[in-house]
């Protein structure tokens, strides 16, 4: 296997195109390993967390919400941005779980990271499985209109396999939990 | 279950912030269903395709490449943008498969769509399973430096479950194919 340096693209210069509330858009000129020069457009993102909340009777707590960029309602697992750079990922995951679903737990299992769109976004989602949950009050963000659903894990997996769930983190995280269960890992 | 209209966010105005080669960044003001007004920043993207290329001996053909936004080499299934709006998804998938890996096939099975980052990107990836492949010449894009690997499906699933594969489309598509195999669907 070749070394990283064989592939590496080196920055010549970097231009901040748009510094928004959520999106921070950059356009960099880079030297490619093949000697050519190219440009790379991408968005910096502070990172996020997502949780597969599994109830004691084997249901996954999901969220329906309107996604403006897609122009439709999606079914997703609870998730949210880190509040500040360096925020503890598990604390953020527990906060999003609590705010969006009302569930609390002491038992989070990391199930890997997700790079949502490696060519365009620096966004990494830190994913967790939540078990042994207890139910309290929800506390959604002011601009979030959410609807909660509890869906049996097997039914949700079948919905994903038949193409009814589009969200990448939901597909990846739920299939991971299901596969880990098949292999006796969780 | 509530109606879409309950959730819908209606555009007040839309501002094109940056019209780049790949990224087209918008900032819209929207009316929320709760009566408040908010802004939505997002990137329009023309869509993409991705393929799980499964060889006759049960290996997945993967691509290692440097992802500038992430600053590192990733392991991914073959994928690429649609060449023009309205391009046939299957034709695009066969092209990317051929260009990146050299494999050809007549047998593509759709395995659903992926919204990579629903809050930020309109990007949808149309995913396929490719079987009964034959090997020819590769023809990568000029600015792509790729390395090919063939990894047994079970080994790749274990690498995903242990957190060694970050790319969202690769996690989702490979786990889908594996789960569909467990359920006798493919």
Q: Please give the torsion angle defined by the CA atoms of residues A11, A16, A22 and A23, in that order, rounded to the nearest 10 degrees.
A: -70
Q: Are residues B83 and B168 in the same domain?
A: yes
Q: Are residues B58 and B139 in the same domain?
A: yes
Burial class (CB in 10 A: 0-12, 13-18, 19+), A88: exposed
Q: Are residues A54 and A34 in the same domain?
A: no
Tell me, yes or no, if A178 comes closer than 8 A to chain B by beta carbon.
yes
Nearest to A63 by CA among A76, A79, A81: A76
Q: Are residues B100 and B137 in the same domain?
A: yes
What secondary structure, in 3-state letters, does B94-136 show? HHHHHHHHCEECCEEEEEEEEECCCCCECCEEEEEEEECCEEC
**Residue range(s) defining the domain that contains residue B144:** 48-182
Q: How far apart are CA A152 and CA A18, in angstroms?
A: 42
Q: Are residues B133 and B77 in the same domain?
A: yes
Residue B68 has pLDDT above 90, yes or no: yes
Q: Are residues A60 and A31 in the same domain?
A: no
pLDDT band at B182 (very low <50, low <70, confident <90, very high): very high
Q: Are residues A31 and A88 in the same domain?
A: no
Q: How far apart are CA B27 and CA B15, in angstroms?
A: 5
Residue B173 has pLDDT above 50, yes or no: yes
Profile chain A (186 residues) by mean pLDDT over runs of 10 residues: 69 95 94 90 95 97 95 96 94 96 96 97 97 87 83 98 98 98 96
Residue B34 has pLDDT above 90, yes or no: no
Residue B1 has pLDDT above 50, yes or no: no
Number of domains in chain A: 2
Mean pLDDT value across residues B94-100: 95
Q: Assign residue A105 the CATH number of its domain.
A: 3.90.79.10
Q: Over the Cα atoms of chain A, what is R_g? A: 19
Q: Say what the pLDDT of residue B145 is.
A: 79
Q: Please give the torsion angle defined by the CA atoms of residues B177, B179, B182 and B186, in that order, rounded to the nearest 10 degrees.
A: -30
How close B141 comes to chain A (CA, Å)? 12
Q: Are residues A120 and A167 in the same domain?
A: yes
Cα dist. A85→A48, A91, A97, B54 in Å? 10, 13, 19, 40
Q: Are residues A34 and A97 in the same domain?
A: no
Q: List, in sequence order, the alpha helices (H) in A17-102.
A: 89-101
Query: Which of A116, A153, A163, A182 is the best residue to mutate to test the B interface, defined by the most B CB atoms within 10 Å of its own CB?
Result: A116
Q: What tokens were used for B63? A: 């691509």
pTM, entire model: 0.95
Catalytic residue status for B87: no
Q: Say what the pLDDT of residue A22 is.
A: 87
Q: Please give the torsion angle defined by the CA atoms of residues A76, A81, A83 and A84, in that order, rounded to the nearest 10 degrees.
A: 160
Last residue of a domain, one of B44, B61, B76: B44
Residue B141 has pLDDT above 90, yes or no: no
Q: Are residues A71 and A27 in the same domain?
A: no
**Which residues between 24 and 43 in chain A have a beta carbon less than 8 angstroms from any beta carbon of chain B?**
25, 27-28, 30, 32-34, 36, 38-43
Tell me, yes or no, if A119 comes closer than 8 A to chain B by beta carbon.
yes
Cα dist. B186→A168, B132, B176 in Å? 21, 13, 10
**Which residues between 53 and 72 in chain A have a beta carbon less than 8 angstroms from any beta carbon of chain B?**
64-70, 72
Q: Over the Cα atoms of chain B, what is R_g? A: 19
Q: Are residues A160 and A102 in the same domain?
A: yes
> Is A81 in contact with B107 (CB distance < 8 Å)?
no
Other CB atoms closer than 10 Å to residue B101's CB: what's the count?
Answer: 24
pLDDT digits (tens, 9 = 90+) for A25-73: 999 999 998 889 999 999 999 999 999 999 999 999 999 999 999 999 9
Q: List, in sequence order, the alpha helices (H) in A25-152.
A: 89-101
Q: Are residues A34 and A94 in the same domain?
A: no
Mean pLDDT of chain B: 93
pLDDT digits (tens, 9 = 90+) for B105-125: 999 999 999 999 999 999 999
Give me the interface pTM, i.e. the ipTM. 0.94
């Amino acid at each position: 296997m070749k070394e990283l340096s064989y592939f590496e693209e080196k920055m010549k210069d970097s231009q901040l195109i748009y510094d928004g509330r959520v999106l921070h858009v950059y356009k960099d000129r880079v030297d490619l390993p093949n000697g050519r020069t190219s440009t790379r457009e991408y968005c910096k993102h502070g990172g996020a967390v997502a949780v597969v909340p599994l109830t004691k009777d084997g249901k996954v707590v999901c969220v329906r919400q309107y996604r403006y960029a897609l122009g439709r309602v999606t079914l997703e697992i609870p998730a949210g941005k880190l509040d500040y750079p360096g925020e503890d990922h598990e604390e953020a995951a527990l906060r999003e779980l609590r705010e969006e679903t009302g569930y609390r737990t002491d038992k989070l299992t990391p199930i890997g990271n997700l790079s949502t769109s490696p060519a365009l976004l620096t966004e990494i989602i830190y994913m967790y499985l939540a078990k042994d949950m207890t139910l309290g009050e929800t506390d959604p963000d002011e601009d979030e209109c959410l609807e909660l659903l509890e869906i049996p894990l097997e039914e949700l997996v079948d919905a994903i396999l038949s193409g009814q769930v589009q969200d990448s983190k939901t597909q990846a995280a739920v299939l991971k939990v299901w596969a880990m269960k098949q292999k006796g890992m969780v």
